[in-house]
Amino acid sequence: MELRGVSKLLKTTAILVTSIAFVAQANADEYWQSADSTAAEVYVEEPMPPGFRVERNELEGPVFADAKGRTLYSWPLERLRNGDLGDRQNDASTCTDEVQTVNTGLMSPYPGGLELPDLETRPSCVDVWPPVLAAADSEPLGKWTITEREDGSKQWSYDGYPLYTSILDINPGDVLGGSKFREGADSPVVRKPVGPSPLVPPELAVTVMFTGRMLVNHENYSAYSWDGDAPNKSNCHDSCLKTWEPVLAPETAQAQGEWTIIERSPGIKQWAFREKPLYTRPGDTRLRSLAGSDSDGWHNVYTQQVLAPPKEFTIQDARIGHVLADSEGMAIYVYNCGDDAQDQLACDHPDSPQAYRLAICGGGDPDKCLKTWPYVLAPEVSSSESSLWTVEYIDPKTGRWASPEQSGALRIWAYRGRPVYTFSGDQRPGETRGDAWGEFYGARNGFKAFWLRDDFLGNAG
C-alpha cells in the first residue's frame, strides 16, 4: 500500500474516532431545548372575543384556548380516497350529535355500510369534540366569526372553520386531541389545534417538526445560525458564503421583537433572530433539512423546541436518519388510528375502540399483540423533562387504562397521552422494520417509528 494511501487512511480514521465520541451528546442538543431555556415562540397578537386567550404548548407552540384554557381545534375539509370529509371553510359545522353506526367507505378498498366496532358505547362527534358555542350576544371580531349549527345554537369559527375543544385536554395548555404536525397521505381527516400566527418576517416561516417549531425560508428551505457569528454581527464572508447564503432582508424591512436586521455591507441587509444572523444552505437538497446542523457550529433555528424525553431513551442511527429508541436502542413507535366514519373519530387512544389496534398488532389476539408490539415500560424511577411524556398504567389484555393497583397492570411510557411501543421484528438497535406497519403505511391504523431526523422521506417533519 502506498504511503499516500496509508496517510489518507490514518487521517480518515483519526477524524472518525474523534467524531464518534461526541455523537450522542451532540445529537441530543440539536433535538431538544434545555429545561432552563425560556425560548418560546412569539406570535402575532390579534384581537380575540372576550373569554378567549392564548395558551402555550411545548410542541404545538401558542394555541387559542377558551376561558378554561381548553385548546381550540378546527376540522378542515380534507380529501380521502373516495370523497371529502371535515368542515368546509365559511360553512356550518358537520360535527353533530348523531352517533355514527357504519363506516363511509371513503377509504379504499373496503366498502361503506359496515357496522362500526363498540357500537353500544360509541360517542357522537360532539361528545368527543364539543363545539365552542357563542353566547347569544357574541359579536364576530376579525377572523373570529359565528356560524349557526343545525340545532340553532351559535358556534365560534376562526378563519372560517368551526371551532371545537377536545375531551382529552384536561389542563390548560394540553393539546392532546390533535396536532399541527403535517399528516401523511391517506391519514384520517384530523382536527388540528388553532393558534395565532408566528411573528416572523415574510421571508421566513415556521414549520412543525417532531422536535419543535423550526424556521424555514419562504421556499421551505431550512434557516441556520452559526456559532462563529457575534450577536447581530455576521462573520461569514468569502469562502463561508460559498456554503451558507444569508437570509436577506429587503430595504423596507423593520426590526421587531426578536427580529433584528444587520447590514452586511452598504445596502445589503440580513435577518437575525435572537441576535443570530440567519442563513440558508444552498447544498440542502431537501426541504426542512437538518443536514446543515452536521457542520460544526451550525444549527437549525427554532422558535421553540420540545424538552428532553425520558432519560433512559436513546437516539439511534437508522437507515434514513435518527430514531428515538428505548434504553436498549430499540426503536420506539407511535400508533396512529382514525376510523372511516362520517365523523372520523380517533381510535389511537386507550379510551377508544381497541379492535383496530388488536387487528394490526396481533390479528385480534391481545397476547400476540403484547409479543409483537410490546409497550415501552417505564422504570419505577424514571423521569422526563418533557410534559409530552407521561407515565401511565395500562391493562395489557384490554389495552385500556388501568390503575396502579390493578393486578397485571403495566407501568408504561405514553407520548401525548397515548402508549408507545417497540417492535419484536427489530433485531438490533436502530432497526425500524415496523415502520409503516398497518393500514395505509401506518397512517390510518398502524405504527410509525418516532423519527427525529429523516434525510430522505420527510418522516420527521
Partner 1 sequence: MRHDPLVKMSTQKFAPAALAAATILATCGANAAAAEDSDSLELKNRSIGYVLTMRHWAIYQTPEAKEECPQGFNDGPREQFKLLYPEDGTNWTLLETQLERESEVWHPGTEKEPYPFYEVEGTTSIGLNLDGQVDAIDFISPEGDEGIDNQLYRAIGCIANFRGPDGTAYHFENNYMQRYNYNRFVIEITGVDDLVNDDQVTLTTYRGLDGLLTDASGRDFIPGGTQRIDMRWGKEFIQSFKGKIVDGVLTTEAADLNMPWSVTFKTSPVMYLKDARFQLKLTPDGAEGLMGTYVDVHDWYYHATVGWSTHHQSYGQESSPSMYRALRRLADAYPDPETGENTAISGAVDVKFSRAFVVHPDQEIAADDAEMEAEVASTRD
Minimum distance between the CB of residue 361 and partner 1, rounded to whole angstroms? 8
Q: What is the DSSP letter of 25?
A: H
**29: closest CA among 333, 299, 385?**
299
Give me the 171-200 binding string for partner 1, x by CB under 8 A, dash otherwise: -------------xxx--------------
Question: Among residues 107 and 332, whose Cβ is nearest to partner 1?
Answer: 107
Question: Among residues 39 and 436, whose Cβ is nearest to partner 1?
Answer: 436
329 binds partner 1 (CB under 8 A): no
381 binds partner 1 (CB under 8 A): no
What would the 3-class secondary structure string for 305-360 be?
A: ECCCCCCCCEEEECCCEEEEECCCCCECEEEEEECCCCCCCECCCCCCCCHHHHHH
Among 258, 317, 351, 395, binds partner 1 (CB under 8 A): 317
Residues within window 216-275 making contact with partner 1, judged by CB under 8 A:
238-239, 242-243
Minimum distance between the CB of residue 368 and partner 1, rounded to whole angstroms? 7
Minimum distance between the CB of residue 115 and partner 1, rounded to whole angstroms? 4
**59: closest CA among 190, 213, 200, 177?**
213
| Span near partner 1 by CB under 8 A; candidates 250-258, 356-364, 384-392, 407-415 | 356-364
Question: Among residues 91 and 294, whose Cβ is nearest to partner 1?
Answer: 294
Residues within window 282-301 making contact with partner 1, judged by CB under 8 A:
282-285, 291, 294-296
Minimum distance between the CB of residue 360 and partner 1, rounded to whole angstroms? 5
| Residue found by looking up cell 429523516 in the block | 454
Contacts of 305 by beta carbon, 8 Å cutoff, 6+ apart:
31, 32, 33, 39, 211, 212, 213
The vertex-215 CA angle with 320 and 60, nearest 5°, equals: 85
Question: Among residues 50 and 425, whose Cβ is nearest to partner 1?
Answer: 425
- Strands 248-249 and 302-305 come out as unpaired
Q: What is the DSSP letter of 331?
A: B
Rounded Cα distance between 219 and 302, Å, is: 17
Residues within window 408-437 making contact with partner 1, judged by CB under 8 A:
425, 430, 432-433, 435-437
Residues within window 119-178 making contact with partner 1, judged by CB under 8 A:
none
Rounded Cα distance between 397 and 386, Å, is: 28
Residues within window 31-90 making contact with partner 1, judged by CB under 8 A:
81
Please tell me the chain's helix, strand, coil percentages from 3-state DSSP, rounded to the nearest 5: 10, 30, 60
